[in-house]
Amino acid sequence: MNHNARPVFYEFFAGGGMARIGLGESWSCAFANDFDPVKAATYRANFADADEHFHTGDVFALEAADLPGQADLAWASSPCQDFSLAGARAGLHGGRSSAFFGFWRLVEALDAEGRAPTTIVIENVVGLLTSHRGEDFTALCQALADQGYSFGALEIDAAHFTPQSRPRVFVVATRAPTDGLTGQGPFHSRAVREAAARLPQALKDRWLWWALPAPPARNTDLSTVLEPDDAVEWRSDAATMALLDLMAPAHRASVDARVASGERAVGGVFRRMRGGEQRAEVRFDGLAGCLRTPRGGSSRQTLLVIDKGVVRSRLVTPREGARLMGLPDGYALPRSATAGLHVIGDGVAAPAVRWLAEHLLAPLAARKTAALAAE
């Protein structure tokens, strides 16, 4: 166990290091990994000590010996598209391809050596709570319980902190004392409550309702993170008109009303398939839609800017995306816009991590240290 002033963490599937930024300088990173070379290069560009602890490669290629010491925290933002745990009747080594299993076998190996992390955070899309009728989430909880962890889940939307709608589930599992950290809280969404209710009794007995407080009201909106109008590339008038033509009547009426007002308005637009037809949907609530990786035209978020009756459109820039993730302007992005959006779209909102760390992860680390000192 770490007895230094700063608690120690491992960061798996680290991407560009956004969880590390959220944890901040009060935590010490002993190990980080990601298999994606673009993300790895971005991590290295942003952390001067990366050569000391960052490993580029598949998590399945790692061994417990690659992980130094014993961590207070292991953070795992495993890929959401392959998080499937249900049906592993042969146990967690039953040949599953999900990246989670590469991470989990390391936890098991560390535990066998008496140096498992005290606390684990598994961050993923909210669909984790319901995939395969909830069987994936139950399997995850069973894996945690089998290693002696108690656990709970929180649904935290980045919109509490930055002007981006980005709900994510954070499963926090620990072996540390939890006195004073449980009770009612604002992040026990309906999806979380229903997922907990579906668990078998033996897992319910290990469930913890983390009492994370509500953050103060956000004081920024989408317009505050944008680059100046004269510093960005706008789409042609024809492209903007084609986008408007894809809108359903209600969305087009929302645009027309703002054109008629003459005032400036900024909206985020996504193209989606609705009833077999492609539609453009706009929101003017001060939030961007959830940032995604640029794997196709429909995944690229567009901005609609209306000013003095004129409608223009353009794509979100990587720097704007970084701001929507709560990253400082000094955060080094890849030169390619596509690569930058790839790193950003796969990340975790740093302010959400910061809130979680301040009100739960740091107290858990302190309680464990105090418990050891009392022995």
What's residue 79's pLDDT?
73
Q: What is the pLDDT of residue 4?
A: 53
Q: Which residues are catalytic?
A: 80
For residues 352-374, average pLDDT? 91
Averaged over 328-339, what is the pLDDT? 95
pTM of the model: 0.92
* pLDDT tens-place string over residues 144-180: 999 999 999 999 999 999 999 999 999 999 999 999 9
| Cα dist from 137 to 153, 224, 260, 352, whole Å | 10, 37, 49, 22
pLDDT tens per residue across span 201-233:
999 999 999 999 999 999 999 999 999 999 999
* pLDDT digits 0-9 by tens, 3-24: 457 999 999 999 999 999 999 9
Question: Between the ranges 95-99, 213-217, 269-273, 288-292, where is the mean pLDDT highest?
Answer: 213-217
Return the C-alpha torsion angle 156, 157, 161, 165, nearest 10.
170
> pLDDT tens-digit profile of 181-198?
999 999 999 999 999 999
pLDDT at 198: 97
Average confidence score pLDDT of the chain = 91
Q: Which residues touch 358 (CB under 8 Å, ≥6 apart)?
A: none
| Radius of gyration (C-alpha) of the chain in whole angstroms | 22
Enumerate domains of the chain plus CATH numbers: 8-216+348-374 (3.40.50.150), 228-316 (no CATH)
pLDDT exceeds 70 at position 371: yes
Percent of the chain residues past pLDDT 70, beyond the cut: 92
pLDDT at residue 30 greater than cutoff 70: yes
- pLDDT tens digits for 71-130? 999 999 987 655 444 444 333 333 444 788 889 999 999 999 999 999 999 999 898 898
